[in-house]
Structure 1
Amino acid sequence: MAEPSEPTNRIWTAPNVLSMLRLVLVPFFLGYLIIGDYIAALVILVVSSFTDFLDGFIARRFNQITRLGQLLDPAADRLYLFASILGLAAGGLVPWWLVVAIVGRDVFLAALGIVLANHGFGPLPVHQLGKVATFALFLGLPVLMLGAAFPVTAAVALPIGWAITLWGVFLYWWAGIIYAIETGRVIRLPLVPSPRRSDTLEE
C-alpha cells in the first residue's frame, strides 16, 4: 500500500467521479421517495453507499485523496440525509417536525460556524457523538423505507426504524449542544498569532 500523502488539488480522479455520481443520483433518490417508490429509492441508496465505500477505499489505497473529494464526500452524505427526511415527510411516512429537528440542528451548527469565523477560528473537530448520531440516522431512515417498500416487513422494520431514528435525532442535538458549549469555550480563548503572521508583522 502506498504511503499516505497530503490532499492534492486534482479534480478528475476516480474517487471524485464516484462522489459526483452520488451527487447526480440525489434528485432521483428524492423524486422516488416523493412519489412513494421506496424500492427504487432503496436501490439508489444501496448504490450510493457502495460507491461511498469504494471511493474512500480507492482514495486511500492509491493516494488519490483530494481537497475536492474532502468537500464532495460529506456534502453528498448530508444531501442524502436531507433528501431522505424530506422525501419521507413528503410521502407521509414521517412527520414534518422530524424534518425541522434534523435540518434545524444543522442550521444551528452553521450559525456556530459563523460565530467561530467571526472570532478568527475555523470549524471545530467532528465529535465522536456526532458521528454516532449521523450513523443512527443513516441506519434508521432506510429501515423505515424498507418497511414501506415491503409491507410484509413493516411490523418489524417500522418500530425498529423509528427507535433508531429517534435515538439518532436525540444524539444529533446532544452533539450540537456539545459543539455549542465548545464554541463558547473557544471564542473566549485569546488568539495567538501564527509564526507566519508574526514574521510578516516584524518585516
Structure 2
Amino acid sequence: MASSDESRDNRVLTIPNLLSVLRLLGVPLFVWLLIGPRPDGFAVRDVWAIVVLAVGGITDWLDGKLARLLDQYSRLGALLDPAVDRLYILAALVALAVRDVIPWWGVALLVGRDLVLGVCVLVLRRRGYGPFVVTYLGKAATFLLLYAFPLLLAGLGSGWFSDICRPLGYAFAVWGTGLYLYTGALYTAEFVLALRHPVRPGAATGPAPSGG
C-alpha cells in the first residue's frame, strides 16, 4: 500500500494543477491573438494578448501560493508548472520574432538553452535522478522575460505610454535573457557534477535546481 506521502505526490485533481491547466489553455489563444488573422489591425488583439499573459502570470503566482497554503504539492504540478512557463516563453518569443520585435538569434539562444537542459533531464532520469526543482533564481529569469513581453507589445503603439513601455520592455528582455542563460550555465554545471556521482538504487533525488 502506498504511503500517505506517496499518495499526496501522485495527486492530479488539485487546485494548483487546475490553475496550471488553465494557463496551458491560454497558450494557443495567446499565439492566435499575436499572429492570427488581423482584419481589424494589431492594437485591439495586442491588448487582449497582454491580458491573457497577465492572467497567466497571476495564476502562475497563485498556484504556487495555494500549493503551499493548502499543502497540495504533487509530481504533476512540479512538472506542469515549469512546462507551461516554457510554452508561454516559446510562444511569445516566436510571435514577437515573426512581428520583427525581437531578433531570431535571440529566440535561438533561449530555445537552445531549454533544449540543452531538456537533454540533460533525459540523461539524468536514465541515471536514476528525479525531476529538477524550481529555484527562485530560475523563476526570477522567467518572470523578467514574462514581464518583458507585454511591455514590448505595449511599446509597439504610439504615444507617451508606448514611449515609456518600449525601453522598459527591452531592459527587462536584456536582463531576463542574461539571467536565463546564466542559470542555464549553472544547471549545466550541476548536470556535469551529477554525472560524476551516480545515484544508488532506491535513492533517486533531484540532482540540481533547474525549474526556470
Shorter-chain-normalised TM-score: which range? 0.7 to 0.9
Distance in 1 (CA, whole Å) between partners of 2:62 and 2:130 is 29
**Deviation larger for 51-60 or 69-78:** 51-60
Q: Percent identity?
A: 42
> Which residue in the other structure is 1:9 paired with?
10
Shift of 1:78: 1.5
The 8 Å contact of residues 19 and 51 in structure 1, kept in 2 or not, is answered as: yes
Distance in 2 (CA, whole Å) between partners of 1:12 and 1:128 is 26
1:187 aligns with 2:188: no
Shift of 1:60: 2.8
> Which residue in the other structure is 2:182 paired with?
174
Q: Which amino acid aligns with 1:15?
A: P
The 8 Å contact of residues 11 and 66 in structure 1, kept in 2 or not, is answered as: yes
Distance in 2 (CA, whole Å) between partners of 1:172 and 1:78 is 12
1:162 aligns with 2:163: no
RMSD value over aligned CA atoms? 2.6
1:108–1:14 CA distance, 2 compared to 1 (3 A): same
Distance in 1 (CA, whole Å) between partners of 2:198 and 2:31 is 45
CA deviations 1:53-77 (Å, max 9, x no partner) are 3333333333333332222222222
> Which residue in the other structure is 1:85 paired with?
93
SS at match of 1:63: coil
Shift of 1:30: 0.9
Shift of 1:151: 4.6
> Rg larger in 1 or in 2?
1
Distance in 1 (CA, whole Å) between partners of 2:47 and 2:180 is 27
1:145 aligns with 2:146: no
CA deviations 1:75-98 (Å, max 9, x no partner) are 222211111111111222112112
The 8 Å contact of residues 32 and 41 in structure 1, kept in 2 or not, is answered as: yes
1:152–1:59 CA distance, 2 compared to 1 (3 A): same
SS at match of 1:55: helix
The structure with the greater share of residues assigned to helix is 1
Shift of 1:156: 2.2
1:54 aligns with 2:55: no
Q: Which amino acid aligns with 2:33?
A: Y
1:73 aligns with 2:81: yes
Distance in 1 (CA, whole Å) between partners of 2:57 and 2:202 is 40
> Which residue in the other structure is 1:41 paired with?
49
The 8 Å contact of residues 15 and 64 in structure 1, kept in 2 or not, is answered as: yes
SS at match of 1:148: coil
Distance in 2 (CA, whole Å) between partners of 1:123 and 1:75 is 12
> Which residue in the other structure is 2:140 paired with?
132
TM-score, length-scaled by structure 1: 0.80
TM-score, length-scaled by structure 2: 0.77
> Which residue in the other structure is 1:29 paired with?
30
Distance in 1 (CA, whole Å) between partners of 2:202 and 2:74 is 25
